Amino acid sequence: MVQAVASAPPRLTARGTTAAATVVVEDVRKSYNDVHALNGVSLQVPQGTVLGLLGPNGAGKTTLVRTLTTLLRPDSGRATVAGYDVVRDAEALRASIGLAGQAAAVDDYLTGLENLEMVGRLYHLPKGEARRRAVDLLERFELSDAGARRASTYSGGMRRRLDLAASLIAYPPVLFLDEPTTGLDPRSRVGMWEVIQGLVDDGTTVLLTTQYLEEADALADRITVIDHGAVIAEGTAAELKRQSAQSVLSVQVEHDADLPEARAILGRLGQQEPHVDEQERRVSVGTDGGSEVLASAVRDLDAAGVRIADLGLRQPTLDDVFLALTGHAAENGGSQDDDADGESARGGV
């Protein structure tokens, strides 16, 4: 759906080890009355890398993005973006960033082109340059045909793309994307990843929040998981996955009534407390065992008279990591539930 800015070669370099950090957050706190939205967050985003900020609803992701884009003042702690302090150098900081917030900032009564030009002018680009980039971005986001139409006639995905295009009009060195692909269809989402990847290849530093573990996995050099306003895990996708068990044993039962029995059996076979998804009638547990665990599971479940709909042993996904860390599954915002375990290698029985 969306064309890549530049062809995105596979990333082989280990980034961020030597480069200076472009975003630095040190013990930032922010409360709303008695809600500690940020409870002492520290993190760094090296130049030219993508940090995926992962967390359930209400974790504090948006609050952190708003703090780093000068929309909110932290109660305490320190944060800098591109060397500018979010409080003291707020004005200079704003000239170096692009923001696509969680709610699309699109002016319904303006055309797509007018929207982009206006934002360009507000970054103080000369008129001609603002228009040139606006036309270019419309093309890149496959909105050229709709560029002369009012944004009120755009579909949700088109608005989201226009919003993202607006955040890019100044070619900012640092980009903040708050759930950039929420509401996009899978094809547009992959297209958006390519655009973001292209920007990163050109040296842009990106901090993006997401509820899609798959997205963080595909895009982020490093992932920071936050919950209740605090960082609970940090690392590359592979590192995070290694923190959880070697594999996940997962069973779906035919009847709700069998769930407790299945839970008990998997509890005996696994290394952790099993997780029960009642809606899916599925029980899963981390295990370090191999196919013999699978065999035991079949035998024990069968002996107990539990009817199995699906049974498998698979690689842990970030979902499992998330589950282990927060005690609840990542919420997918209701719009995506089909492709969350894209990499699971399921050995069905």
Partner 1 sequence: MTSIAVPAPTSSNKLSWVVSDALVMAKRNIIRMSRRPDYVIFSTIQPVMFIVLFNYVFGGAIATGTANYIDFLIPGILIQTVLFGSFNTGVGLAEDLKAGMIDRYKSLPMSRSAVVAGRIIADTLNNAFQIVLMLGVAFLIGFRFHGTPIESLGVPLIALMFSVPFLWVAAAIGVTLKSAEAVQSAGFLWLFPFTFVSSAFVPVETMASWVQVLAENNPVTIVIDAVRGLTYGDPSMSAIWQSVAWSVGLTVVAAALAVDRYRRV
Which positions lie near partner 1, rule CB under 8 A?
5, 66, 69-71, 91-92, 94-97, 99, 101, 103-107, 109-110, 114, 118-119, 121-126, 129, 150, 166, 170-172, 202-203
If the CB atoms of residues 137 and 177 are measured against ligand ATP, the closer one turns out to be 177
Candidates 22, 47, 63, 70: give the one binding ligand ATP (CB under 6 A). 63
Residue with tokens 């290394």: 271
The least distance separating ligand ATP from the CB of residue 38, rounded to whole angstroms, comes to 8
Provide, rounded to whole angstroms, the least separation between the CB of residue 171 and partner 1.
5
Residue least distant from Mg ion (Cβ) = 62
37 binds, among partner 1, Mg ion, ligand ATP, none (CB under 5 to 8 A by kind): ligand ATP
Q: Is 57 one of the binding residues for ligand ATP (CB under 6 A)?
A: yes
C-alpha to C-alpha distances, 187 to 200, 208, 291, 294, nearest whole angstrom:
20, 19, 35, 35
Candidates 7, 17, 18, 32; binder of ligand ATP (CB under 6 A) is 32
Q: Residue 57 CB, nearest distance to Mg ion (Å)? A: 8
Q: One symbol per residue from 32 to 71: x for binding Mg ion (CB under 5 A), - otherwise; what is it?
A: -----------------------------xx---------
Name which of ligand ATP, partner 1, Mg ion, none residue 129 binds, using a CB cut-off of 5 to 8 Å depending on partner kind: partner 1
Q: Report the residue count for the chain.
A: 349
Torsion of CA 241, 231, 207, 183, to 10 degrees: 70
CB atoms within 10 A of CB 11: 13
State which of residues 40, 58, 77, 183 lies at the interface with ligand ATP (CB under 6 A): 58
Residue 167 interacts with ligand ATP (CB under 6 A)?
no
- Among residues 52, 46, 90, the alpha carbon closest in space to that of 203 is found at 46
Supply the minimum distance, in Å, between the C-beta of residue 331 and Mg ion. Answer: 11
Residue 125 near which of ligand ATP, partner 1, Mg ion, none (CB within 5-8 Å, type-dependent): partner 1
Q: Of these, 23, 37, 169, 223, which contacts ligand ATP (CB under 6 A)?
A: 37
Give the shortest CB-198-to-partner 1 separation in angstroms.
10
> Contact 191/2 with Cβ under 8 angstroms?
yes
- DSSP code at position 275: E
Q: In the complex, what is the shortest distance from the CB of residue 133 to partner 1, in angstroms, rounded to a whole number?
A: 9
Q: Determine the Cα–Cα distance for residues 245 and 270; give it in Å rounded to an integer.
A: 9
SS3 labels along 15-64: CCCCCCEEEEEEEEEEEECCEEEEEEEEEEEECCCEEEEECCCCCCHHHH
x-marked contacts with Mg ion along 73-102 as a string, rule CB under 5 A: -----------------------------x
At closest approach, how far in Å is the CB of 60 from ligand ATP? 4
Instruction: Work out how close the CB of 98 gets to partner 1 at its nearest, in angstroms, rounded to a whole number.
Output: 8
102 binds ligand ATP (CB under 6 A): yes
Cβ–Cβ < 8 Å for 319, 212: no
The token pair that represents 35 in the structure block: 């809600």
Count of H-run helices and E-run strands, the chain:
11, 14
Cα–Cα distances in angstroms (integers) from residue 210 to residues 10, 55, 87, 173, 344, in the given order: 22, 8, 26, 20, 20
Q: How far apart are CA 189 and CA 1, in angstroms?
A: 8
For every residue of 110-175, which 3-state class applies, written as one string? CEHHHHHHHHHHHCCCCHHHHHHHHHHHHHHCCCHHHCCCEHHHCCHHHHHHHHHHHHHCCCCCEE
- The one of Mg ion, ligand ATP, partner 1, none whose footprint includes residue 131, by CB under 5 to 8 A per kind, is none
Query: Which of partner 1, Mg ion, ligand ATP, none does 21 bind, CB closer than 5 to 8 A by kind?
Result: none
CB of 58 to Mg ion, least distance (A): 8
- For position 68 contacting ligand ATP by CB under 6 A, the verdict is no
